[in-house]
Amino acid sequence: MSETPNDDPRYHYNVIARALEIIDSEGPSLSLDDLAARLRMSPAHFQRVFSRWVGVSPKRYQQYLTLDLARRLLAERFTVLDTALEAGLSGSGRLHDLFLRWEAMSPGDFARAGEGLTIRWGLFPSPFGEALAMGTERGLCGLAFTAESGREEAMADLRARWPAADYVEDPAAIAPWVEAAFSQKGEAKLHLIGAPFQIKVWEALLSVPSGHVTTYSEIAQSIGSPRAVRAVGTAVGRNPVSWLIPCHRALRKSGGLGGYHWGLPVKRAMLAWEAARADSGAA
């Protein structure tokens, strides 16, 4: 069994991803000793990795990895977005679990597909595997996760959104914003590059607190387009700044996870991570 300590967040996420697969196939009744053995780890090492990643023991964390997590979150932590928006939880200033300032590109600038923009990018470790981050001089404009899609596909996906921009590999230029995004310390800045309808949907997502969820229909209602549920789902899926604009907190009204642009295992891990931290008081 491998017992070598490893503080790389990508290593922790790989353990989580493998645990998800095993629990899906074996069921949540699998004992911790058996689960640790399947992961080729001792129970003690398994507990250290999980506790370091999320702040709770593996025994407690296991309940957050079950497939019915989405339904339980909808029943217990559903967020009414109209109330959140009226409370001033969107826009500049304190946004629930981190300091976040954002501004949107004008419709005219968006129509130019990034022409005249210099977008700097880099690869970074994160609690959910390797992240590809992109940013302009105003803030992060792209954040993708490569665990499921791979680096090349993630890069091609983000670049296709702003094909006329100039891209420069320069992780140091955006590193402070990326660190703020995952450490919840400092200030993360966003530069939202999208169509006006997409911006409205993403603004609504910014109102969903960590550890809580909402639905596509609730988002449609909150932006004044109650019949546009399908269009809202498309806009959620086109969110270029995963995690900071928390599209993983949007679920189907039925309690299903819905889709996730960077892979459903990543979405489930994010929801479980936030729910466990909220319950443990670590959020």
* 122 Cβ contact list (under 8 Å, min separation 6): 132, 133, 169, 170, 171, 172, 174, 175, 178
Terminal-to-terminal C-alpha distance of the chain? 32
Task: Assess whether 141 carries a catalytic annotation.
Answer: no
Q: How far is the C-alpha of 271 from the C-alpha of 99, rounded, in Å?
A: 20
Q: Exactly one of 19, 117, 247, 275 is catalytic; which is it?
A: 247
Q: How far is the C-alpha of 105 from the C-alpha of 255, rounded, in Å?
A: 33
* 163 Cβ contact list (under 8 Å, min separation 6): 113, 114
The 3-state DSSP class for residue 119 equals strand
Active site residues per annotation? 247
